[in-house]
């Protein structure tokens, strides 16, 4: 991938909104986290660097929520409570340098680390200074990770080189919390003084006192201070505005930068405010437009003059100033630039690439000289994954003849996420373009772009495997968020590069445990990051994902293990009140001879080491997930050599139907990717979306239309392990989720949460309701209350989505139907003889689709029964299709109760109840329920002289290890079951009786 920039000759016009200052955001969030009380920081910064600070502080136990455009920070009073042993600064140098020392304020030891390339970044001078202050730390090579003991610093006399202001700021921020007076002295040349002025100014705003010498080389800080909570507003970010200013300066223009309302300021306003003075001295015609609320640049003929600048005060501005100087009359001189070469890249050397375009730049010792030229010629350039280099070279390329391309096209998101939108708003065409497919063995034969599938269609998308989609994301946008794990007390996030790294390690572990291509890997996990990692790891080596519903107990799990012949099972050590790992080993002890289970890998629910039960006697070995991963070496050559294809089976899901046992549904990768791409195209989803996943990932809804959809679309997925509507509402807003596909109960509960709290999901655009028939009244109410388009749909594990409405449909069709056929899918209604019925007639619903499953595992008999003679899939539902093609499910042929998306195996439950001595006859039918769609009601004919109570029934099913979600929630005694002349129970009569009934226990299940 690359950034394509078209050189232009036309006038640049338009207005852009200047984002808020990331420099203020870092400091405000950190100081608020140390304060006693709740601080409110208005003016969110979307910079990726700030997101890393938020993430790290949350990992230290700080509660940070988003309320509209405000950060709400619950300070911990100067004592962090880490939630994990290692905390990551991601790719933010500011976060890393500030938080190494502040980590010592934790109540236990913690390791501070960052992205892989940060682990080669030496921070020795900072570490030595922290040690002088009494911080106890360890580092193997003066690079992250750094192990910091949870012990307050002692203070004392500290010296530090003035190379990087962030090192000095990190010391100043920590010193008020030391046990003794601290004196910090800067040795050698002092760079970036404005950033230190900002640090001190903001500390004072939070009530922390710092005494500073006139030359800003000595700082005296009293011990035992307490930060106070504040309310403040972040100012505009001059560092981001600089790129809009430079673009307007290089072309005939009429540009408004909204948000900048003064040309006077100080480092407390923004440490890069001096850039405005330099730009004006170069001849950029800037004036404040009070009526429009911004800085306006208007000119017909650009005329810039050379400058002589000391870069110690504005080092980060060197790249964009170099761009301006390239088109200025005369020779510009940028002095004292040595420390600018220690940034994300060697920025002075990186800007010499302008010479390949016709520029005249010379670098010697501590000085960069730039002689102005009349014009440039387009070229292929490298951004070195440095956000400021990318944006500066892109602005320069807008003045070049032809089309320039730059590597690492998404680096701008680190500091200025709206840069690309801003440039295009100003009529400067820039776009992220996809390169050709990789070499053989790396997306070989795919021949498709790497961004989103809507650009090239489901057929082409389906030729790319899920591991290939992951690799493309990790290479194109390594620092972007891939998965968010929303826990009850914190959020955990990983980037695309981190996800790819974890997937490779888990894949290597599966190989070490003996898993081979084509084998089933079973795992029973709630919605959490490890579920995604394990799924992609299995697919990485050509194995088959066999997820198991988390609420399955020994009985159902045993069936899945026997049928799948899985030799590896991954479980959590705890799920709600249950201990799944112990249940598994009980199952092995009881039925080990019937199982192929060689390895049970146990995942800690709360992080760290798992609670491991004792290994059973026999051939099954128990492993701790984290320890097993740590002991596994990754050989990517071996992994890449496996190269699974789109045709290989990717998924085995067990689903209950009308028979007495679950059925194993198999789907190849091509079907899953194609199904996701079909929905993307149908709904118009794109890179601006974020996918919320409350549905269990072990269900097709969560697995395919949560995890797979987000992966193919290349956007974040927000996982919620434990359903809680209020927490869900918070996560929707915290992470700006725009799309969800889930069953009726999730929709119903979310509506109630909004009505009770008054808070709405601010970004949610589309809610696709599936799993159980959605009451039309609820759908209409939900659309109104949530401010969201509720779309009806029909799908099965066997077929993926077959029908779906869309936001553009009329309301009565959008939520009043089950949708219309997706592209490439055919729907029909037939009578019992197979004759196709006309529009509006009720009959048997059948469909034909390129995403229909391969077959039921080892059950060719059931597979053949599922299809009509001409190959159409029989859904087992009754339905109508109107003249506009909209489907409406009217009933079910199959005897299945759909409890909020969970299909209850009625025949199996009836058989178990028949076995109770107090039961003479029994039938289980659905009773309508507003929240879940349906619940199960058991009509029981008591055996002579006995009585079966509701609690008796529950104990009986519990004794048979039946999942609670399958238990009937109403028991109704009846003298005799209604039957037809040939003895078949007439369940329609029982359903009529159940229509007015309610569950015995509203909290059941």
Angstrom distance (rounded) from CA 469 to CA 446: 11
Alpha-carbon separation of residue 22 from 9, 53, 117, 463 (angstroms): 33, 10, 22, 41
Angstrom distance (rounded) from CA 410 to CA 714: 13
Tokens 């936001």 belong to: 807
Three-state SS across 453-492?
HHHCHHHHHCCCCHHHHHHHHHHHCCCCEEEEEECCCCEE
Which run of H or E residues covers position 951?
Answer: helix 950-959
Please list, in sequence order, all residues whose beta carbon lies within 8 angstroms of the beta carbon of residue 160, skipping any fewer than 6 positions away: 125, 126, 129, 167, 168, 171, 184, 185, 186, 187
Angstrom distance (rounded) from CA 516 to CA 644: 11
246 CA to centre of own chain:
34
**Using an 8 Å Cβ cutoff, are 307 and 335 in contact?**
no
Q: Give CA torsion, residues 186, 191, 195, 199, to 10 deg.
A: 0
Tokens 């996943």 belong to: 693
The answer to the question of whether 132 is labelled as a binding residue is no
The DSSP output letter for 336 is: -
Helix (H, G, I), strand (E, B) or coil at 230: coil
Angstrom distance (rounded) from CA 948 to CA 524: 34
Alpha-carbon separation of residue 852 from 322, 795, 879 (angstroms): 58, 11, 19
The answer to the question of whether 316 is labelled as a binding residue is yes
The total of other beta-carbon atoms located within 10 Å of residue 880's CB is 18
Helix-strand-coil percent breakdown of the chain, rounded to 5? Answer: 35, 25, 40
The answer to the question of whether 388 is labelled as a binding residue is yes
Whether residue 145 is preceded by a cis peptide bond, meaning omega within 30 degrees of 0, is yes
Catalytic residue from among 316, 504, 749, 789: 316
The answer to the question of whether 687 is labelled as a binding residue is no
Q: How many residues does the chain have?
A: 1005
Please list, in sequence order, all residues whose beta carbon lies within 8 angstroms of the beta carbon of residue 119, skipping any fewer than 6 positions away: 113, 143, 144, 145
The DSSP output letter for 18 is: P
How far the first Cα of the chain sits from its last, in Å, is 49
The answer to the question of whether 93 is labelled as a binding residue is yes
Please list, in sequence order, all residues whose beta carbon lies within 8 angstroms of the beta carbon of residue 96, skipping any fewer than 6 positions away: 89, 112, 114, 118, 121, 123, 144
Tokens 């560092």 belong to: 239
The answer to the question of whether 139 is labelled as a binding residue is no
**Closest to 150 in 3D by CA, of 100, 113, 106, 112:** 106
Please list, in sequence order, all residues whose beta carbon lies within 8 angstroms of the beta carbon of residue 890, skipping any fewer than 6 positions away: 842, 878, 879, 880
> Which sign does the torsion angle of CA 747, 753, 758, 761 carry?
negative
The answer to the question of whether 27 is labelled as a binding residue is yes
**Using an 8 Å Cβ cutoff, are 543 and 565 in contact?**
no
Which parts of 209-253 fold into alpha helices (H)? 238-250
The answer to the question of whether 142 is labelled as a binding residue is no
Three-state SS across 107-147?
CCCEEEECCHHHHHCCCHHHHHHHHHCCCCEECCCCCCCEE
Which parts of 316-377 fold into alpha helices (H)? 318-326, 347-351
**Using an 8 Å Cβ cutoff, are 685 and 739 in contact?**
yes
- CA-angle at 487, arms to 485 and 491, nearest 5°: 55
Q: What's the token pair of residue 140?
A: 């193997």
Helix (H, G, I), strand (E, B) or coil at 170: helix
277 is catalytic: no
The catalytic residues are 316
Residue list, annotated binding site for 3-phosphoshikimate: 22, 27, 165-166, 316, 343
Residue list, annotated binding site for phosphoenolpyruvate: 22, 93, 121, 166, 347, 388
């Amino acid at each position: 991938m690359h950034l394509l920039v078209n050189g232009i000759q036309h006038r640049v016009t338009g207005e852009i909104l200047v984002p808020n200052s990331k420099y203020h955001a870092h400091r405000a969030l950190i100081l608020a986290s140390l304060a006693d009380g709740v601080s409110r920081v208005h003016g969110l910064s979307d910079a990726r660097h700030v997101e890393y600070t938020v993430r790290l502080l949350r990992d230290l136990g700080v509660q940070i929520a988003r309320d509209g455009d405000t950060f709400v920070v619950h300070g911990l009073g100067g004592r962090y409570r880490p939630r994990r042993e290692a905390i990551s600064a991601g790719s933010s140098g500011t976060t890393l340098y500030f938080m190494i020392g502040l980590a010592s304020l934790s109540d236990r030891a913690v390791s501070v680390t960052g992205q892989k390339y940060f682990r080669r970044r030496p921070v020795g001078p900072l570490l030595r200074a922290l040690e002088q202050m009494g911080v106890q730390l360890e580092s193997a090579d003066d690079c992250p990770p750094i192990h910091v003991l949870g012990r307050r610093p002692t203070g004392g006399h500290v010296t530090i080189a003035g190379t990087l202001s962030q090192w000095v700021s990190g010391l100043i921020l920590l010193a008020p919390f030391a046990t003794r007076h601290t004196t910090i002295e800067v040795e050698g040349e002092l760079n970036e003084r404005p950033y230190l002025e900002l640090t001190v100014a903001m500390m004072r705003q939070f009530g922390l006192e710092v005494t500073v010498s006139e030359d800003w080389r000595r700082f005296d800080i009293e011990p035992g201070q307490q930060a106070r909570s504040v309310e403040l507003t972040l100012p505009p970010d001059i560092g981001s505005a600089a790129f809009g200013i430079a673009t307007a300066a290089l072309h005939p223009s009429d540009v408004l930068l909204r948000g900048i309302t003064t040309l006077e300021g100080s480092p407390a306003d923004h440490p890069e405010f001096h850039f405005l003075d330099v730009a004006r001295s170069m001849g950029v015609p800037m004036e404040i437009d009070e009526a429009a609320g911004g800085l306006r640049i208007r000119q017909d003929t650009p005329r810039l003059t050379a400058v002589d600048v000391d870069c110690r005060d504005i080092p980060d501005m060197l790249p964009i100033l170099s761009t301006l100087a390239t088109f200025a009359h005369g020779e510009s001189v940028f002095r004292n630039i040595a420390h600018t070469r220690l940034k994300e890249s060697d920025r002075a050397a990186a800007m010499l690439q302008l010479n390949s375009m016709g520029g005249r730049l010379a670098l010697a010792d501590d000085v960069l000289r730039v002689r102005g030229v009349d014009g440039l010629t387009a070229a292929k350039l490298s951004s070195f994954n440095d956000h400021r280099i990318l944006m500066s070279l892109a602005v320069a390329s807008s003045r070049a003849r032809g089309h320039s391309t730059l590597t690492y096209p998404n680096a701008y998101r680190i500091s200025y996420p709206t840069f690309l939108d801003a440039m295009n708003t100003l009529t400067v065409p820039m776009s992220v373009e996809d390169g050709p497919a990789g070499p053989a063995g790396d997306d070989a034969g795919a021949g498709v772009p790497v961004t989103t599938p809507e650009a090239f269609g489901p057929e082409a998308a389906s030729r790319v495997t899920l591991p290939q989609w992951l690799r493309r994301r990790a290479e194109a946008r390594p620092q972007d968020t891939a998965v968010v794990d929303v826990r009850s007390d914190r959020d955990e996030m990983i980037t695309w590069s981190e996800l790819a790294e974890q997937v490779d390690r888990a894949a290597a572990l599966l190989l070490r445990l003996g898993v081979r291509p084509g084998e089933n890997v079973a795992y029973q996990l709630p919605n959490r990051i490890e579920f995604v990692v394990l799924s992609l790891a299995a697919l990485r080596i050509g194995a088959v994902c066999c997820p198991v519903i988390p609420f399955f107990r020994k009985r159902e799990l045993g069936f899945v293990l026997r049928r799948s012949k899985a030799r590896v099972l991954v479980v959590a050590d705890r799920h709600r009140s249950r201990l799944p790992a112990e249940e598994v080993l009980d199952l092995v002890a009881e039925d080990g001879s019937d199982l192929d289970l060689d390895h049970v890998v146990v995942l800690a629910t709360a992080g760290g080491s798992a609670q491991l039960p004792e290994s059973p006697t026999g051939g099954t070995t128990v492993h701790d997930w984290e320890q097993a991963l740590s002991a596994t070496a990754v050989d990517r050559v071996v992994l890449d050599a496996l190269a699974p294809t789109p045709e290989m089976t990717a998924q085995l899901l067990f689903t209950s139907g009308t028979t007495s046992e679950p059925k194993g549904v198999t789907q190849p990768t091509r079907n899953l990717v194609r199904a996701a791409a079909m929905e993307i195209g149908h709904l118009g989803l794109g890179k601006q979306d974020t996918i919320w996943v409350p549905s269990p990932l072990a269900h097709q809804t969560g697995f395919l239309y949560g995890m797979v959809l987000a992966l193919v679309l290349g956007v974040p997925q927000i996982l919620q392990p434990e359903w809680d509507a209020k927490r869900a509402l918070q996560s929707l807003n915290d992470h700006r989720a725009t799309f969800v596909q889930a069953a009726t109960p999730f929709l119903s509960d979310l509506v109630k949460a909004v009505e009770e709290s008054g808070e709405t999901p601010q970004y949610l655009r589309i809610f696709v309701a599936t799993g159980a028939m959605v009451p039309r009244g609820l759908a209409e109410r939900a659309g109104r209350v949530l401010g969201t388009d509720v779309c009806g749909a029909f799908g099965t594990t066997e077929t993926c989505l077959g029908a779906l409405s869309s936001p553009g449909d009329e309301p009565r069709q959008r939520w009043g139907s089950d949708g219309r056929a997706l592209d490439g899918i055919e729907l029909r209604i037939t009578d019992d003889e197979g004759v196709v019925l006309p529009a509006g007639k009720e009959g048997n619903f059948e469909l034909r689709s390129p995403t229909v499953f391969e077959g039921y595992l080892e059950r060719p008999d059931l597979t053949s029964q599922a299809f009509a003679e001409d190959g159409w899939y029989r859904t087992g539902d009754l339905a109508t299709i109107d003249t506009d093609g909209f489907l409406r499910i009217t009933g079910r042929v199959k005897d299945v109760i759909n409890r909020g998306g969970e299909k209850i195996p009625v025949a199996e439950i009836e058989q178990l109840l028949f076995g109770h001595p107090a039961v003479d006859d029994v039938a289980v039918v659905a009773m309508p329920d507003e929240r879940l769609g349906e619940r199960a009601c058991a009509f029981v004919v008591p055996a002579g002289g006995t009585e079966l109570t509701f609690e008796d029934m529950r104990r009986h099913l519990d004794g048979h290890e039946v999942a609670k979600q399958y238990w009937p929630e109403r028991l109704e005694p009846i003298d005799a079951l209604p039957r037809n002349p040939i003895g078949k129970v007439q369940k329609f009569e029982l359903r009529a009786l159940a229509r007015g009934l309610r569950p015995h226990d509203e909290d059941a299940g």
